[in-house]
């Protein structure tokens, strides 16, 4: 029960951080918007890795089809951002998505290894 409550609390904090980060521009303006955006970003960045370490998500993220999807999709987004977005946003978007694609690509050979069975 304790594990379920901690998982639900982590998910709620993660989603709240994403909502605060993405939705503050629709409700707030000026300094409160910036504070809410940065606070939501920090909350999502802190709770995100904790959520991803939980067992159902961890197994799904390490599956070979999931890694291939993440690698190809993020690589495509990085290339498209570099081609179709202007200014510094294109550089940051392409670099960020390229890092995610690189991380998924590094995980691909690791997921293919099988441990030898000990008898």
Sign of CA dihedral 27, 17, 58, 95: positive
pLDDT at 111: 61
Name the residue ranges covered by the structural domains of the chain.
1-57, 62-119
- Which stretches of 28-87 are DSSP H helices? 31-52, 55-61, 64-84
Tens of each residue's pLDDT in the chain, 119 residues: 678 888 889 999 999 999 998 888 888 888 999 999 999 999 999 998 888 888 777 888 888 899 999 999 999 999 999 899 888 888 988 999 999 899 889 888 876 555 554 55
Reported pTM: 0.61
Count of all residues that appear for the chain in the document: 119
The H or E element spanning position 87 is none
């Amino acid at each position: 029960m304790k594990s379920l409550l901690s998982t639900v609390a982590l998910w709620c904090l993660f989603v709240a951080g994403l909502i605060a980060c993405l939705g503050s521009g629709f409700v707030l303006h000026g300094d409160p918007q910036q504070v809410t955006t940065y606070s939501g970003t920090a909350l999502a960045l802190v709770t995100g890795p904790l959520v991803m370490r939980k067992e159902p998500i961890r197994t799904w993220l390490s599956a070979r089809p999931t890694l291939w999807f993440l690698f190809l999709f993020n690589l495509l987004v990085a290339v498209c951002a570099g081609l179709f977005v202007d200014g510094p946003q294109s550089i940051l978007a392409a670099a960020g998505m390229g890092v995610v694609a690189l991380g998924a690509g590094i995980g691909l050979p690791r997921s293919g290894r099988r441990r030898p069975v000990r008898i």
